[in-house]
Amino acid sequence: MNNDTPIIMYTTSWCSDCHRAKYFLDTYGFEYTEIDIEDNPDGLDFVERVNDGNRVVPTIVLGDGSMLVEPSLATLASKFDVTLDRYA
């Protein structure tokens, strides 16, 4: 995945998995748009719709239409084709 692919990450302020995913994307230089579902009713509606009515974050939507829901670091590294050597 290249840095030109749009990424939208649905988050909350208190979610540790969200903080980890944002740190990962920041560390590897991937730009993303963050939508806090606590402040954005449309974002909340989207997250619930794609997660069978559940408020699961982070829900990450990639430009190719694929989604990652609560991804592990290994899943993020694999999807973005990077190694975890820069992640500290």
In percent, the amount of the chain with pLDDT more than 90 equals 83
**Residue 39, domain member (yes or no):** yes
**Residue 35, domain member (yes or no):** yes
Question: Mean of the pLDDT values across residues 7-14?
Answer: 97
Residue-wise pLDDT for 45-61, tens only, equals: 999 999 999 999 999 99
- Residue ranges making up the domain that contains 54: 7-79
Question: Mean of the pLDDT values across residues 12-29?
Answer: 95
User: Does the structure show a pLDDT above 80 at 3?
Assistant: no
How far, in Å, CA of 33 to CA of 53, rounded? 23
How far, in Å, CA of 41 to CA of 1, rounded? 29
- The backbone region for 53, taken as left when phi is positive above 0, alpha when psi lies in -120 to 50, beta otherwise, is left
Which CATH number fits the domain that encloses residue 32? Answer: 3.40.30.10
User: Does the structure show a pLDDT above 80 at 65?
Assistant: yes
Q: Which helix (H) or strand (E) holds 62?
A: strand 59-62
Whole-number average pLDDT of the chain:
92
**Residue 67, domain member (yes or no):** yes
**Residue 47, domain member (yes or no):** yes
